[in-house]
Amino acid sequence: MLRMDQVFRIHEKATIARLLQLIYEIDALIAMADVTADQGFVLPDIIQGSLSVHAEGLTHPFVQQAVPNAVALNQACRVLFLTGPNMAGKTTYLRAFATALYLAHLGMGVPATRFAFVPTQRLFSSLSLSDDLRSGVSYFRAEALRVKAVAQAIADGFHVVALMDEPFKGTNVKDAFDASLAILARFAARENCLFMFSSHLIELSDRLSTTGQIDCHYFEADERDGRLRFDYQLRPGVSRQRLGMRVLEEEGVFDLLDNQ
């Protein structure tokens, strides 16, 4: 018994470690295959050429009765500029795309009816940033550092896919507008990189119309019977809806304050 223990722990330690690693990988592959089969995910097509992603019927795997949408990012449209009111589906769309692209790079199925992509080298998301009191990093600095990380990867020559959800909201409107415009123009000029950029700064669209490689889409809300309703369908163009005050009114915030 002691001799066998010595063999396993000392002489064959590397072999045992490699065997365990293979078992872990097989277990992970089985789990990925089970999820792909059980959830009806589609296996992605890996294509050649410049960086691009094309998807049909894309949904978020954790959203019940999710509304499917398409994705079309390529070198003719490197940047998707996404607008729409709160709760209309912008962030969920970004998360669905990021999740599907990540799963595709793992080699498993994705929640879509079709998914074709050219593999990328770096995937960035800026969806849930926060400040850091211990490190003295404000919310806006956290945003700036995230953009810097994307810029560094691009400068290093990597093929990058980056998703940014309402960036620069940690500063004033003027700086947010100028920063967004400057970043979008530079993103659009980078070959073999793709970007999704959601924003409430719909005024950007007037300046983006002269910039190539930027595709504008939006989600919208519909008001029926005094309530807001969302169909979560992606549409071409730019949303002009402003529903911040409408949502506060619908939730009765002003009534509570005015009746005191």
Q: Is pLDDT of 105 > 90?
A: yes
260 pLDDT higher than 70:
no
β-pair partners for 230: 221
* 250 pLDDT above the threshold of 80: no
Which of 210, 176, 211 lies closest to 195 in space, CA to CA?
211
- Cβ-in-10-Å burial (0-12, 13-18, 19+) of 168 comes to buried
Do 197 and 80 form a contact (C-beta atoms < 8 A)? yes
Which of 31-40, 102-111, 132-141 shows the lowest per-residue confidence on average (mean pLDDT)?
132-141
Torsion of CA 92, 97, 100, 101, to 10 degrees: -150
Each residue of 119-175: pLDDT tens digit? 999 999 888 767 667 777 777 888 888 899 999 999 999 999 999 998 888 788 888
Instruction: Give how far the C-alpha of residue 58 lies from the chain's centroid of Cα atoms, to the nearest Å.
Output: 13
Secondary structure element (H or E) that encloses residue 69, with its range: strand 69-73
User: Residue 54 is encoded by which pair of tokens?
Assistant: 């094309």
How many residues make up the chain in this entry? 260
Asked if residue 111 lies in contact with residue 61, where contact means CB atoms within 8 angstroms, the answer is: yes
| Arithmetic mean of pLDDT, 243-247 | 75
Quick one: pLDDT at residue 131? 65
First to last CA, the chain: 80
Token pair for residue 231? 């169909």
Cβ(150)–Cβ(181) below 8 Å: no
Ordered by start, the domain boundaries in the chain are: 1-38, 43-258
Which CATH superfamily, name and number, covers 43-258?
A: P-loop containing nucleotide triphosphate hydrolases (3.40.50.300)
Residue of 235, 210, 232, 212 whose CA lies nearest to 221: 232
Per-residue pLDDT at 115 exceeds 70: yes
How many other CB atoms are there within 10 angstroms of residue 118's CB atom?
17
Q: Can you tell me the distance from the alpha carbon of 88 to that of 156, in angstroms, rounded to the nearest whole number?
A: 36
Cα distance between residue 193 and residue 223, in whole Å: 38
**pLDDT at residue 185 above 80?**
yes
Average the pLDDT over each of 93-102, 211-220, 225-234, 245-254 and give the range with the smallest value.
Answer: 245-254
Lowest mean pLDDT across 41-55, 105-119, 172-186: 172-186
Query: What pLDDT digit, counting tens, does each position of 198-221 carry?
Result: 998 888 888 887 677 899 999 998
CA-CA distance, 117 to 155, in Å (whole number)?
Answer: 23
On average, the pLDDT of the chain sits at: 89
